[in-house]
Amino acid sequence: MKKNRLLLLVILFTSAVLHAQNIKSPDEFLGYSLGSKYTPHYKIVNYFNYMASAAGSQMKLEQYGETNEGRPLLLAYVASAENLSKLEDIRKNNLRLTGMLTDKPGDVNAPAIVWLSYNVHGNETSSSEAAMKVLYELLNPANAATKEYLKNVVVIIDPCINPDGRDRYVNWQMQMVGKTVNPNPIAREHMEPWPGGRTNHYNFDLNRDWAWQTQIETQQRLIKYNQWMPQVHSDYHEQSYNNPYYFAPAAEPYHEIITPFQRSFQVEIGKNNAKYFDANGWLYFTKEVFDLFYPSYGDTYPIYNGSIGMTFEQGGGPRSSSAVITNTGDTLTLKDRLTHHFTTSMSTLEVVSKNSSRVMTAFKQFFDNTNSNGAGEYKTFVITDVNTSRINALKKLLDANAIQYGYSNGASLKGYNYFTQKDESFTTGNSLVVSTYQPKGVLVKVLFEPKSKLADSATYDITAWALPYAYGLQSYAVKEKIINVNKDAVVKTPGEMPLDAYGYLLKYNSFEDAKLLVALLKAGIKVRYAERDFSFGNNKFSRGTLIILRKGNEAKIDELQKATTAFRATVTPIQSGFVETGFDFGSDKIRFIKKLNVALITGKGSNSNDAGEVWHLFDKQLDYPITLINADDLGNINLKNIDVLIVPAGRYKFLSDKESSADLKTWVRQGGKIIAIDNAVTQMASGDWGLKLKKTDEEKDKKEDAKPSYEDLKKFAESEHDGIKSFIAGAIYKIDLDVTHPLAFGLGDNYYTLKQDDNVYEFLKEGWNVGVIKKDNYVAGFVGSKIKDKIKDAMLIGEQPFGNGDIIYLADNPIFRNFWESGKLLLSNAVFLVGQ
Ligand SMILES: [Zn+2]
């Protein structure tokens, strides 16, 4: 086999040299007409490889990574032969324009970089088909137009951002379809099964992950992105098949930081797209639905990095197979869909090429401005928190985004305190300082600003994400530039761990510490935690402190040392079990942590994103085994070997229906632990488990109040805005914690929750109201006027004993998109500490 392949390669190579003028189109290469059926990912890879060898003087292909399922992630660089030969110089010059490379000044008389990203949502499949056509036409010697474009533009093509998702969809679709496609939308080939191909292997939406980079596809891609910093980024999607095409300009709200040029150039590109769509009689819309606010999209993230970022949306998606009859009676085919994406790709290249010097000048200005003036009202963000593990987690995020930072010691400053929400004076002490006077200054502003200004509240996504809340870090936003910032922190190296102590103490106040706990449990080390504060040899230790006694761990001390070194944890050796205040280590207030068997409800019925977040947390971050159980199977399996059952958001009969929940209730009564998250809590509230949903006075009065009210007289044209009054888009609330409860250990006095619905619960009568929302606990983000009053004086985090077992309620998803760092500790506490 190998020899044959080599021979084939030689033949291909030779024919490429001989027939460079005659490269194969996708139709010729694939053996079918593009769009007549779906192309699996490996064939797209094959075509890109073929083109790289057939047209090597104008194309360079690079594998920048691999997916969870082992598929290659590719970037194709396409340029004129002259530009391709100096590609590295072009890249470096581009970085000089941003200030990320400072060896010499950048030159604006260079080609603009246009980065085309296809198929980030795996089941929005037409765009990767279009990518092959784009590549071909850029390199087709007979195409005079693209030859012209490539004089002023270097094109970077990512043919498929999400290959695992794409193949999940395409493989399924190929199994469902007969010899011809059935365009009737009720046919099974239009009904994609759970979890769908939109997301990656762990069911993460990669178009929400740009800034957070929790997924390996994003992590690997962003390294390349930050090495190139393109002037234009296009992101290709699909929406419902009944919708016409969407292209820029985007809808409000726009983030206030977006520059006039970024706004107006979107319009220029949009008008050029419209010209081609008008000529063909194709329908489209602009300025609606797709806004520019949440920072982690394929349009906004590039925009906050100085680029013109745009979303393109073709009607299609998983319900459209390769042909579908729309609600106007027309048949929409895969060929139509890919042709539209091809057209906007080409049109974008045309506009950028014709205006490349304007684009380059504006790009340089964007960075000159940030580098010398900073960005926004607050110029510097100072993290005064002393929790090193949490700061390290934040630094990891900053590094991944190529954001520079330093340290300040002893400076007296005034700034906005995120936790008290007041302007206060403070002094730095080896504090992390993140300035907006840097190439990534705009991104810094957007990620750190305490409150983001919303011009219009009908946004597509969450409206608050300020990192100090997400990471639970005491921080200040300062209006001045801070001078005397050191590059390096004062680092304390942990001392050697003596091997013969009575025991060892480990602090527990970050997700890193939870990871260390898990590593110890996996290594078979016996770990306890202190339920109360205690002091030992003049040192105070907080509740939650992990205790590893020599007794029972005699053979494991080496492993303990290995794990604590790997986690860079500070170990406090102790020579006695006798404490000065608090409980001695033999007390029953010192809890032994059993290694528990954890299961997660997943499959049809569960929300795939929410289930995926828990799966990813255990599989890739905690590195702890978790048993995935299909929701449908729950009635037929025995949970006797399971200790903890995590129920993410979804729709489950076994929570709300009395009869179906009987078995589960018995399991909990016998000692099981349920951790219900998000709307799983809401369903339990309607299912006789012991908690109640809190209702507003208006909701309570609804039935009795039949009097006519002028408030019901609404204007038709204002329907959207009336809806907004009862809408919450993802806002931050401060939660007051019962710090004495294990669920709150390590979190501090408050936890900041990302609230995405108005569901709040009455205080538990039987159980522990560990996290409650009191009056005036609103912090940031959009909350509709009608529901603002409801979200107060209620329980959001609770524990309720149930027979010999436990139910833990986490009303908001604490690990939303896995970027809400402090929520990871909350969930870890629920699993590993509560009920031990
Ligand atoms: Zn999409």
DSSP, residue by residue, 34-88: TTSSPPPHHHHHHHHHHHHHHTTTTEEEEEEEE-TTS-EEEEEEE--HHHHHTHH
366, 259 Cβ separation under 8 angstroms: yes
- Which amino acid, residue 728? I
234 CA to centre of ligand 1 in angstroms: 12
312 CA to centre of ligand 1 in angstroms: 9
367 CA to centre of ligand 1 in angstroms: 29
Distance spanning both ends of the chain, measured CA to CA = 58
Tell which residue, 513, 305, 512, 526, has the closest CA to residue 403: 305
Tell which residue, 829, 825, 831, has the closest CA to residue 531: 829
235 CA to centre of ligand 1 in angstroms: 9
236 CA to centre of ligand 1 in angstroms: 7
238 CA to centre of ligand 1 in angstroms: 5
Coil, strand, or helix at residue 410? coil
Per-residue model confidence (pLDDT) at position 1: 44
130, 336 Cβ separation under 8 angstroms: no
Tell which residue, 394, 421, 415, has the closest CA to residue 405: 394
239 CA to centre of ligand 1 in angstroms: 7
User: Which residues of the chain fall below pLDDT 50?
Assistant: 1-4, 6-20
237 CA to centre of ligand 1 in angstroms: 4
496 CA to centre of ligand 1 in angstroms: 51
Tokens matching residue 292: 């520019």
Sequence-ordered strand ranges (E) for 67-152: 72-78, 112-118
Per-residue model confidence (pLDDT) at position 461: 79
206 CA to centre of ligand 1 in angstroms: 9
**Distance from C-alpha of 374 to C-alpha of 278, rounded to nearest angstrom:** 42
Backbone dihedral angles phi then psi of residue 91, each to the nearest 5 degrees? -60, -45
538 CA to centre of ligand 1 in angstroms: 57
203 CA to centre of ligand 1 in angstroms: 14
Per-residue model confidence (pLDDT) at position 704: 52
Max intra-chain CA distance, the chain = 86
517 CA to centre of ligand 1 in angstroms: 38
300 CA to centre of ligand 1 in angstroms: 14
Backbone torsion region of residue 6, taken as left when φ is above 0, otherwise alpha when ψ lies between -120 and 50, otherwise beta: alpha
Tokens matching residue 542: 């907080």
Backbone dihedral angles phi then psi of residue 234, each to the nearest 5 degrees? -115, 135
494 CA to centre of ligand 1 in angstroms: 47
- Which amino acid, residue 329? G
N residues, the chain: 836
**Distance from C-alpha of 447 to C-alpha of 118, rounded to nearest angstrom:** 26
297 CA to centre of ligand 1 in angstroms: 10
734, 752 Cβ separation under 8 angstroms: yes
22 CA to centre of ligand 1 in angstroms: 35
Q: What is the pTM of this model?
A: 0.94
37 CA to centre of ligand 1 in angstroms: 20
Per-residue DSSP letter, 440: T
Tell which residue, 650, 655, 639, has the closest CA to residue 597: 639
Per-residue model confidence (pLDDT) at position 3: 43
Sequence-ordered strand ranges (E) for 603-730: 627-630, 644-647, 673-677
245 CA to centre of ligand 1 in angstroms: 13
Identify how many contiguous H helices and E strands the chain contains and give both numbers: 26, 35
558, 565 Cβ separation under 8 angstroms: no
Per-residue model confidence (pLDDT) at position 488: 81
165 CA to centre of ligand 1 in angstroms: 12
Per-residue model confidence (pLDDT) at position 454: 79
785 CA to centre of ligand 1 in angstroms: 30
463 CA to centre of ligand 1 in angstroms: 19
404 CA to centre of ligand 1 in angstroms: 31
291 CA to centre of ligand 1 in angstroms: 14
Contacts of 752 (CB under 8 A, 6+ apart): 469, 470, 472, 732, 733, 734, 735, 779, 822
710 CA to centre of ligand 1 in angstroms: 41
* Angle separating helix axes 388-400 and 511-522, nearest 10 degrees: 100
pLDDT tens digits, 676-687? 999 999 999 998
118 CA to centre of ligand 1 in angstroms: 10
Four-point Cα dihedral 73, 79, 84, 89, nearest 10: -90
pLDDT tens digits, 265-297? 999 999 999 999 999 999 999 999 888 999 999
**Distance from C-alpha of 686 to C-alpha of 677, rounded to nearest angstrom:** 15
